[in-house]
Amino acid sequence: MIYEKGNPKWAIFLVIIFMILGANYMIYNFSFFQPFDEKIVIASLIDCILVIPILTYFFIIRNKYSFKTIGIPLLAGYAAAYYIIPQEYLQSYNKLTWIIIVMEGLILTFELFLFYKILKYFPKLMKEFKNRSLEGYYFIENMNMALKSIFPNSLFEKIGTTESSIYYYSLFSFRKKINTSVIKEQFSYHKKTSVIALNLMLIHAIVIETIGIHYLLHKINPIISYITLFLNVYTVLLFIAEIQAIRLTPIQIRNEKLVIQIGIMKRINIPLKNISKIEYYNGPEKFSNKELENIFDARVNDFIQEKPKFDIYLKETSTANLLYGFTKKVNRIVLSVDEPERFYQTISQSLQEN
C-alpha cells in the first residue's frame, strides 16, 4: 500500500539493507564462497559501518531528524559486523572500536559542553526569555531571541536554540496548553494526520532496539554500549519533543505575519504584505527536486504523505529556519491545516486588508 501511494522509501531502504547484510552473511557462512580473500573483511566493514549509515541518512534522517542520530545506525552497523564477520578475521581491526568510541565520545562531549554553557548563563538567559515570553511567542522564538542577546552571531546561539527546544518540549511541556487569549487566529495542522502515531511508533522501535543493542554491545565493549544508550535516549527525547511541539505550535496570524512552526524541525515568519496570493493546491503529488529547493513544505511527516491543501506564493524570497541554525531561501509555501476553509478565508481577508 505504501509503495502504491508513491512513498516507497521505507520499503526500498529495508530491501537494500537486507541485501547488504544477507550478502555479507552468506560470504562467511556458505561453503560455496570458500575460500575467500581476507581483504573481503574490509569490504564488509565498509558495508556495515559506512554504507548502511549513509543509506540511513539519505533515506530516513535527512530533512527530518537531527544529524546526530547518525550515531545509532553507525553503532547498529558495528554490531552487525561483529556478529557477521568471524572473530578470527575481525580481531585484526580492533582499532575500529576505538575510532567509533572517539566519534561518539565527541558527540557526547559536545552535548555536555552545551549543557554547561546553558547552566553558566542560566539566570541571565531566563531573564531575557521571560521578558519576551509575555508577548505570546513560541518557545523556540523566545529562546532564539534570548540567546541572540547573550551570544550574538554565535554558533552556540543557533545550536543552543535547537538543543534547548528539544529538552523543553520533551521534558517540561506536558502541562502546557495552547494560548488562545493572546492570539485568536490559530490553526492546528496535525489532527487529520498520523504524525503522532508515526513518532510513537519510532519511539517504540528505538526503545526495543536500545534494549537489544545495549545488551549486545555491552558484551563487546561497555563504553560503546553506554554511549549508544545516551544517543538512543537523546533520539527518544527528540521524537517526544516533536510530538509536543506539533501539538503546541499551531499556525498563527500574529502582528501582521503568518507564523508557521512545524514541530521543532522548521519554522518561518512571513509578513502578510509579502504574500502574493493563496490558492488551493492543484498540482502533482510529488515535487521535483528543483521545486523543493525553493519551497517551504509545512506538512508534517506521515505514513502516507497526502497532497498539500494550499499553495502560498511570496512576492519576495524569505528565509526559513531549520534545525541547528540552518536556513533555506524560499519563495513558495505549501501546507495543510485541519480547518482549510477557515484558514483560506482568514488569509484572503487579511490580504485584502493589507
From first to last of the 354 residues of the chain, give the pLDDT tens digit.
Answer: 333 344 456 777 788 888 888 888 888 887 776 776 666 777 787 778 777 877 787 777 665 665 556 667 777 787 788 778 887 777 666 666 666 666 666 766 776 777 777 777 777 777 777 776 655 578 998 888 888 888 887 777 888 888 889 999 999 998 888 876 667 789 999 999 999 998 998 888 888 877 777 676 666 667 777 777 787 888 899 999 999 999 999 999 988 999 999 999 999 999 999 999 999 999 888 888 888 899 999 999 888 888 999 999 999 999 999 988 889 999 999 999 999 999 999 999 988 887
What DSSP letter does each residue of 145-193 carry, written as one string?
Answer: HHHHHHSTT-HHHHHHHHHHHHHHHHHS-TT----TTT---EE--STTS
Do the beta carbons of residue 40 and residue 23 sit within 8 Å? Answer: no
Report the distance separating Cα 26 and Cα 40, nearest Å. 12
Which pLDDT does position 2 carry in this prediction? 37
Amino acid at 353: E
Which pLDDT value is given to residue 270?
95
The pLDDT score that the predictor gives to residue 1 is 33
The alpha carbons of the chain give a radius of gyration, in whole angstroms, of 23
Q: What number of other Cβ atoms are within 10 A of residue 22's Cβ?
A: 11
- Asked if 289 contacts 323 with a C-beta cutoff of 8 angstroms, the reply is no
Confidence (pLDDT) at 100: 65
**According to the model, what pLDDT value does residue 37 have?**
66
Inter-residue contact 221 to 101 (CB < 8 Å) = yes
User: What pTM did the predictor assign?
Assistant: 0.69
Q: What is the pLDDT of residues 135-157, one digit of tens each?
A: 557 899 888 888 888 888 777 78
Strands 327-335 and 295-297: parallel
